[in-house]
Amino acid sequence: MITVGHWWSGRDAHMKLLVTCPIPAEWDGRTPVGLFDFGETGLGNAQGFESLMCLNGMPYQGVDSYHAEVILPKTAVGSTLELEFDLWSGLEGGGPPRTQHHQIRQAELAWLDVATDDLYYTSWAMFDAATVLGSHDY
């Protein structure tokens, strides 16, 4: 059994993770979301891991360091989903061949609080804009 904390390794290696997860009926009216951290994604050049998540047997979304949140359909609330992750260890991105090592640090379900999410990202954008603009810029 693979759990959070498990290490996986390889060079150009593939691995499948399959999990069946119930989405609680108590989440009715909410948007379920999966939160996944399976390793480090590189800065291009095939460096680091990538994966494709299939939902009930159909391709659904890529999952990597840049796409760790998966918004699941609201219709999934009260049902059981089958999630399959096709993981790829990646390559070294240039240089001598070497084995890539990754750790599964997060794999959980939550629900998205849309108002809080909007506040967070709007605040982040305003903060970033304020750090770029000069003190006399409008």
**DSSP-assigned letter for residue 42:** -
pTM recorded for the entire structure: 0.83
* Closest to 69 measured CA to CA, from 35, 105, 104, 112: 35
Tokens in use for 108?
Answer: 């959980």
Where does the pLDDT of residue 116 fall: very low under 50, low under 70, confident under 90, or very high at 90 and above?
very high
Distance CA 87, CA 132 (A): 38
Q: How confident is the model at residue 52 (pLDDT cuts 50, 70, 90)?
A: very high
Domains of the chain and any CATH numbers: 7-112 (2.60.120.260)
* Rg of the chain in Å (alpha carbons): 18
**With bands split at pLDDT 50, 70 and 90, how would you rate the model's confidence at 65?**
confident
Phi-psi region of 12 (alpha: psi -120 to 50; beta: other; left: phi over 0): left
Examine the pLDDT at 7 and tell me if it is beyond 70.
yes
